[in-house]
């Protein structure tokens, strides 16, 4: 990604060998997530030019000094980076690492608490002379590439029989939605749930809620094809927000006193407000949708006073080394059928894949590198 708003271009780059604690991964596939597009559009301050991609999966080809739990030949899913030392990490809440932005979005590599080390990516000029530093280490991977440098901490070894091209997006989008339900909100069996936004995270939340036994599971979106898919995945009711004047009333025809749990996955402040407005007393709304930095939203204070909670949730509050193998098992059992949300694209068709995500034609495009 060389300039704001794109496009993505394929260019030959040089990658440094893995340093201490790092692993070299040959990428098999990488999902495309809205955060990639938010950086493309510079809603987050990641410097350009940069190699994006943060739902990578592949095979380990090399390990740096000191790497103990990952070996050459291992199949791995890559996920977000965390420092392991801040107060959040000390509590085990690693997705909300105090250094999440530096670790994942700075475009730099790190060592200890130094986040200013240039990424291991370079491009030579046409004469093979002066080299240009390219930003990378995006989520400690930059996996829109044939190879990537990750770290021992942000790769998860999975069974060699598992399908890397299907499981790649577990590392961000799918764990975000599933984890918000299973790790953070933890609704009781039979609890009512509203999910706004039928993207990969919202639909993963629906699948997780079905596994737990939430009822009703209501989903709101503006695209009928996504709502039909949601019904297939376990939603009990769907609401098309573009055909409803008052989404709050539409939810209340199903749950007259509001819902016990909600997941806001659109990143739209008006939808977020509605999602909180429709909570029952003591209800909890988990915010998983990203909005440009500086976006504000207003709530009715009296409404919140009645025990209602709004909780920001990053990456589903997940600890990927234990959570991703669980999701892999649920997928193998047919209970987390993410293949219904995925369309594969050759790496060279990255712009077509991005268009399919932007227009809503595809929930989760996955690039295949080999
Ligand atoms: Zn993501
Ligand atoms: Zn931390």
Quick one: three-class SS letters along 179-227?
Answer: HHHHHHHCCCCCCCEEEECCCHHHHHHHHHHHHHCCCCEEEEECCHHHH
Indicate whether 41 and 100 sit together in one domain.
yes
What is residue 292's predicted lDDT score, i.e. its pLDDT? Answer: 86
Separation of alpha carbons 197 and 167, rounded Å? 22
Q: What is the mean pLDDT of the segment spanning 215-230? A: 97
User: Which residues lie at CB < 5 A from ion ligand 1?
Assistant: 33, 35, 172
Indicate whether 201 and 142 sit together in one domain.
no
Please give the structure tokens belonging to residue 69. Answer: 């739990």
Given pLDDT bands bounded at 50, 70 and 90, which one contains residue 76? very high
Indicate whether 83 and 51 sit together in one domain.
yes
Indicate whether 308 and 184 sit together in one domain.
yes
> Does residue 20 have a pLDDT over 70?
yes
Instruction: Please report the beta strands in the chain, taking only residues with DSSP state E, as ranges in sequence order.
Output: 14-15, 22-31, 56-63, 75-78, 109-111, 114-117, 121-124, 131-134, 147-151, 155-158, 193-196, 217-221, 237-240, 259-264, 279-287, 309-312, 342-346, 364-368
Mean pLDDT for the chain? 95
Separation of alpha carbons 137 and 143, rounded Å? 9
Given pLDDT bands bounded at 50, 70 and 90, which one contains residue 127? confident
Say how many Å lie between the CA of residue 86 and the centre of ligand 2: 4
Indicate whether 259 and 305 sit together in one domain.
yes
The ligand that comes nearest to the alpha carbon of residue 176 is 1
Say how many Å lie between the CA of residue 33 and the centre of ligand 2: 23
Tell how strand 193-196 and strand 237-240 pair up: unpaired
The answer to whether 70 and 46 have CB atoms below 8 angstroms apart is: no
What domain range includes position 219? 177-313
Say how many Å lie between the CA of residue 130 and the centre of ligand 1: 33
Given pLDDT bands bounded at 50, 70 and 90, which one contains residue 131? confident
Indicate whether 159 and 181 sit together in one domain.
no
Indicate whether 152 and 24 sit together in one domain.
yes
> Is 284 a domain residue?
yes
Separation of alpha carbons 58 and 2, rounded Å? 25
CATH (domain of 53): 3.90.180.10
> Is 264 a domain residue?
yes
Instruction: Please report the beta strands in 222-271, taking only residues with DSSP state E, as ranges in sequence order.
Output: 237-240, 259-264
Query: In 10 A of CB 279, how many CB atoms?
Result: 25
What is residue 238's predicted lDDT score, i.e. its pLDDT? Answer: 98
Q: Would you say the C-alpha torsion 119, 110, 83, 60 has a positive or negative sign?
A: positive
Q: What is the pLDDT of residues 243-284, one digit of tens each?
A: 999 999 999 999 999 999 999 999 999 999 999 999 999 999
Given pLDDT bands bounded at 50, 70 and 90, which one contains residue 79? very high
> Does residue 48 have a pLDDT over 80?
yes
> Is 5 a domain residue?
no
> Is 326 a domain residue?
no
Indicate whether 37 and 162 sit together in one domain.
yes
Say how many Å lie between the CA of residue 208 and the centre of ligand 2: 27
Say how many Å lie between the CA of residue 88 and the centre of ligand 2: 6
> Does residue 70 have a pLDDT over 80?
yes
What is residue 130's predicted lDDT score, i.e. its pLDDT? Answer: 62
Please give the structure tokens belonging to residue 340. Answer: 């219904």
Q: Would you say the C-alpha torsion 179, 185, 186, 189 has a positive or negative sign?
A: negative
Indicate whether 303 and 347 sit together in one domain.
no
Indicate whether 208 and 90 sit together in one domain.
no
Q: What is the pLDDT of residues 90-115, one digit of tens each?
A: 999 999 999 999 999 999 988 777 77
Q: What is the mean pLDDT of the segment spanning 68-95? A: 96
> Does residue 183 have a pLDDT over 70?
yes
CATH (domain of 226): 3.40.50.720
Indicate whether 40 and 182 sit together in one domain.
no
- Return the H-helix or E-strand segment holding 100: helix 100-105
Residues sharing a CB contact under 8 Å with residue 295, sequence separation 6 or more, in sequence order: 267, 269
Q: What is the mean pLDDT of the segment spanning 320-341? A: 97
> Is 66 a domain residue?
yes
> Is 323 a domain residue?
no
Separation of alpha carbons 352 and 348, rounded Å? 9
Separation of alpha carbons 71 and 154, rounded Å? 14
Distances (CA, A) of 9 to 33, 40, 126, 297: 17, 12, 17, 36
- More confident: 76 or 128: 76
What is residue 210's predicted lDDT score, i.e. its pLDDT? Answer: 98
What is residue 370's predicted lDDT score, i.e. its pLDDT? Answer: 76
> Does residue 129 have a pLDDT over 80?
no
> Is 37 a domain residue?
yes
The answer to whether 136 and 118 have CB atoms below 8 angstroms apart is: no
Residues sharing a CB contact under 8 Å with residue 222, sequence separation 6 or more, in sequence order: 240, 241, 242
Say how many Å lie between the CA of residue 300 and the centre of ligand 2: 33
> Is 330 a domain residue?
no
Angle at 215 between CA 209 and CA 221, to 5 degrees: 70
Please tell me the least confidently modeled range out of 115-119, 184-188, 305-309, 342-346: 115-119
What is residue 208's predicted lDDT score, i.e. its pLDDT? Answer: 98
What is residue 229's predicted lDDT score, i.e. its pLDDT? Answer: 97
Task: State the total domains in the chain.
Answer: 2
Given pLDDT bands bounded at 50, 70 and 90, which one contains residue 191? very high
Indicate whether 24 and 161 sit together in one domain.
yes
Q: What is the mean pLDDT of the segment spanning 43-52? A: 95
Say how many Å lie between the CA of residue 132 and the centre of ligand 2: 31
């Amino acid at each position: 990604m060389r300039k704001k708003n794109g496009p993505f271009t394929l260019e030959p780059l040089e990658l440094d060998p893995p340093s201490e604690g790092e692993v070299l991964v040959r990428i098999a596939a990488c999902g495309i997530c809205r955060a990639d597009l938010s950086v493309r559009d510079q809603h987050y301050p990641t410097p350009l030019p940069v190699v994006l991609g943060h739902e990578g999966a592949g095979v380990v080809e090399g390990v740096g000094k000191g790497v103990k739990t990952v070996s050459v030949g291992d199949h791995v899913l890559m996920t977000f980076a965390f420092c392991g030392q801040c107060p959040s990490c000390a509590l085990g809440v690693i997705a909300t690492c105090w250094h999440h932005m530096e670790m994942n979005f700075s475009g730099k590599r790190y060592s200890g608490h130094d986040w200013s080390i240039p990424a291991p990516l370079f491009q030579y000029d046409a004469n093979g002379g002066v080299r240009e530093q390219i930003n990378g280490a995006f989520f400690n991977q930059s996996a829109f590439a044939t190879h990537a440098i990750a770290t021992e901490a942000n790769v998860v070894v999975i069974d060699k029989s598992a399908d890397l091209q299907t499981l790649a997006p577990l590392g961000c989008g799918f764990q975000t939605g599933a984890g918000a339900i299973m790790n953070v909100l933890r609704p009781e069996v039979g609890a009512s749930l509203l999910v706004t936004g039928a993207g990969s995270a919202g639909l993963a939340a629906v699948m997780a809620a079905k596994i737990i036994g939430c009822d009703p599971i209501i989903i709101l979106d503006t695209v009928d094809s996504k709502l039909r898919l949601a019904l297939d995945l376990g939603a009990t009711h769907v609401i098309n927000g573009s055909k409803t004047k008052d989404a709050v009333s539409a939810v209340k025809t199903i749950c007259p006193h509001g819902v016990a749990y909600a997941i806001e996955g659109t990143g739209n402040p008006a939808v977020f407000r509605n999602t909180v407005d429709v909570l029952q007393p003591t209800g909890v709304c988990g915010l998983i949708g990203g909005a440009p930095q500086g976006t504000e939203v207003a709530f009715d204070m009296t409404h919140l006073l009645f025990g209602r909670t709004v909780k920001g949730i990053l990456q589903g509050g997940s600890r990927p080394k234990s959570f991703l193998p669980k999701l892999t098992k649920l997928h193998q059992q047919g209970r987390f059928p993410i293949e219904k949300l995925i369309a594969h694209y050759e790496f060279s068709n990255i712009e077509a894949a991005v268009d399919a995500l932007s227009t809503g034609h595809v929930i989760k495009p996955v690039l295949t590198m080999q």
